[in-house]
Amino acid sequence: MTLHGVVEELAWESAFFGLRSAIVRLRDDAPALDERAFDGFHRIQAKIAASATHQLDALQQFGFRLVEGEADFALPVPAQAVDPQAQTAVAADIVPLRQMAATLFSQSRFRAPWYPPEASGRFYAQWIENAVKGVYDHECLLFRAPDGQINAFVSLRQLNENEARIGLLGGRGAGEKLMLAAVYWAQQRQLKTLRVATQISNLAAIKRYTRSGALMESTAYWLYR
């Protein structure tokens, strides 16, 4: 099968990981791809709908390998929401949040052998720091233990006038509170839909999102070359 698309360099990821990286954007109206399109890149990503088995077969012929599956959920935001009294993270919280994120997300799609062993933890540590600073995600909410230590966090980004997306969500035994905090955050902004994605293998997260009222809208595959 002929694949049509464009290869876009991922400048930030290239600099962060020290690997010249790109992503394939598959489009029927784009030129046909051949091996020359991939020259010069150390890592090339592709994300396709799980139902697009023809694209999966074609990418594998180009040497792409399956890395993980992803499920995307949508949760309707109610007109009234419970306020679980989450706190907004501040600069003084960055160091412990980085440590938590690096530990909790050490086995993402940025794992070895595709990236250096510490890359995944370092990537998500930077993500949560950026969220505290309002970069990419707009805010990080957290809950503390009685001794003041952070025990759970969630980052959020408003996508448009109707939707927001959960970025990172972590904390043992705090899933329900974190989802309540995210929903309340969205409700206060008069948004209609809260979106969140997780690995297909993360059954605990899938159960939490569905218990909170989210519906799975789509599934996808990530492939690397």
CA angle 137, 197, 176 (to 5 degrees): 85
- List 115, 124, 209, 224, catalytic entry: 209
Indicate if 209 belongs to the active site.
Answer: yes
d(CA 164, CA 158): 4
d(CA 121, CA 129): 12
Ligand-binding site membership of 170 (annotated): yes
**Would you say 169 is a known binding-site residue?**
yes
174 marked among binding-site residues:
yes
Task: Identify any residues that bridge with 152 across adjacent strands, giving them in sequence order.
Answer: 143
172 is in an annotated binding site: yes
Cis peptide, bond prior to residue 113, ω within 30 of zero: yes
Strand order in the sheet with 21-26: 5-9, 21-26, 43-49, 215-224, 65-76, 193-199, 163-170, 150-158, 139-144, 87-88
Q: For residue 50, say whether it is annotated as part of any ligand binding site.
A: no
Binding residues: 169-175, 202, 208
Binding residues for acetyl-CoA: 169-175, 202, 208
What residues act catalytically? 209
